[in-house]
Amino acid sequence: MRPQQVLGGTFKLLDGHEIPLVGFGTSPKTWLTGWKWSQLEMDTAIEAALGSGYRLFDTANFYSNDDVLSNAFNKLLPKFNLTREDIFVTSKVEIIIPNIQENTRRILDKSIKAFEYLDLILIHYPKYEALAAPGIGPRRENDSKDNQNDRYEIYDVLEEYKDKGKIFSIGVSNFEPRHIEELLPKVKYPPTVNQCEFHPHLCRPELKKYCQENGIFLQAHTSLARNNEELYNEHVLKELAAKYSTSLQHLLLAFAYKQNVGVIPKSVNPERIRGNLKFLDIDLSDEDIKKLLTLDKGHKGHYTPCNQWNIL
């Protein structure tokens, strides 16, 4: 990504590259059933996002939208006098067994063809999930001793592509500290990013501390907790939203951002895409962040299928 003033600021990664703190997500509408963006939906969303100042765009092989997203960039970057170098593209590759390295190269080649190169690639999950590639291979159980070797096999390919200059930074998603620690003695490039579910019901203090102490950028997914009713009915959340004259959603985005945790809100509605950035104007105090941290439910407060803390 070309060095420049980026909306919301940037974080300098371990490898020297800068990543925007604020990005735009392109995940499926629902995790279990999926939902592929139409070209019109993607064009409309990307036009609103670029026009509003978003410069990081988050996707994944699992989302199956490389084609429509790259088409949107090709159409719309020139409209805003931007080039590929002005945006930051994050993608994720999942572990697919058997033939992990062959499958990884196939996925990376497809994404690189779509986006020219990848600013950041993440390992999507610390084990093979049958959901990601039904019918390709047997499910890996959480306690499988093969999980650790699988993670190293895929990471080895990511380093190969980094050495070739096809991807700039390597990171992980939904990894626990122990998963990262197991990799470190074997890899050339330590993970620069860890993208995890993060909101007041799932604050992950130990994970956050580990990332801070090791210079790993913590990026939140599911910042809005999928509009979980229990979270949105929390008295503290409502009280602070009233205090700052903002919405619950904007308060949740500010909760992560004010702790230097990256956010990647998603919407297909242009007005909401623009409006989501209002959280940048919320000067959430340290005292009020501490109030929200008291809502933490630990692992019982997660609202995605990700339960990586149970994975060997």
Q: Domain limits of the chain?
A: 10-310
Which CATH topology does 10-310 take? TIM Barrel (3.20.20)
- Does 138 or 140 have the greater pLDDT score? 140
Report DSSP state, residue 23. E
Active site residues: 63
CA distance 149 to 98: 12
Structure tokens at 24: 């735009």
At 5 the pLDDT is: 81
Share of the chain above pLDDT 90, in %: 91
Q: Is 124 a known ligand-binding residue?
A: yes
Mean pLDDT, range 113-134, rounded to an integer: 87
pLDDT exceeds 70 at position 39 = yes
- Position 139 pLDDT exceeds 90: no
Instruction: Give the pLDDT score at 207.
Output: 98
Does the pLDDT value for residue 182 go beyond 60?
yes
Res 192 pLDDT > 70: yes
What's the pLDDT score for residue 36? Answer: 84
The residue among 60, 74, 79, 82 whose CA lies nearest residue 131 is: 60
Per-residue model confidence (pLDDT) at position 4 = 73
Q: Average the pLDDT over 178-203 and give the result.
A: 98
136: nearest Cα among 100, 105, 91, 108 = 100
Write down the mean pLDDT value for the chain.
Answer: 94
- For residue 38, the model assigns a pLDDT of 93
| Per-residue pLDDT band at 226 (split at 50, 70, 90) | very high
Interval 286-295 mean pLDDT:
98
* Alpha carbon separation from 291 to 54, 68, 284, 302 (Å, rounded): 29, 41, 11, 19
- Give the confidence band of 41 by pLDDT, cuts at 50, 70, 90: very high
Residues whose CB is less than 8 angstroms from the CB of residue 200 and which lie 6 or more positions away in sequence, other chains included: 225, 231, 234, 237, 252, 255, 292, 293, 295, 296
Q: Choose the most confident range, by mean pLDDT, from 33-42, 93-102, 127-136.
A: 93-102
Instruction: Tell me the average pLDDT across 127-133.
Output: 70
- Which pLDDT band holds residue 31 (cuts at 50, 70, 90)? low
Mean pLDDT of 80-98: 96
- Each residue of 254-269: pLDDT tens digit? 999 999 999 999 999 9
Phi, psi of 306 (to 5 degrees): -75, 120
Average pLDDT over every residue of 190-202? 98
The whole-angstrom separation of Cα 233 and Cα 63 is 31
Please state the pTM of the whole predicted model. Answer: 0.96
The SS3 assignment for 89 reads strand
Residue 29: what pLDDT? 64
| pLDDT tens readout for residues 143-152 | 999 999 999 9
- Residue 38: alpha-carbon gap to chain centroid: 21
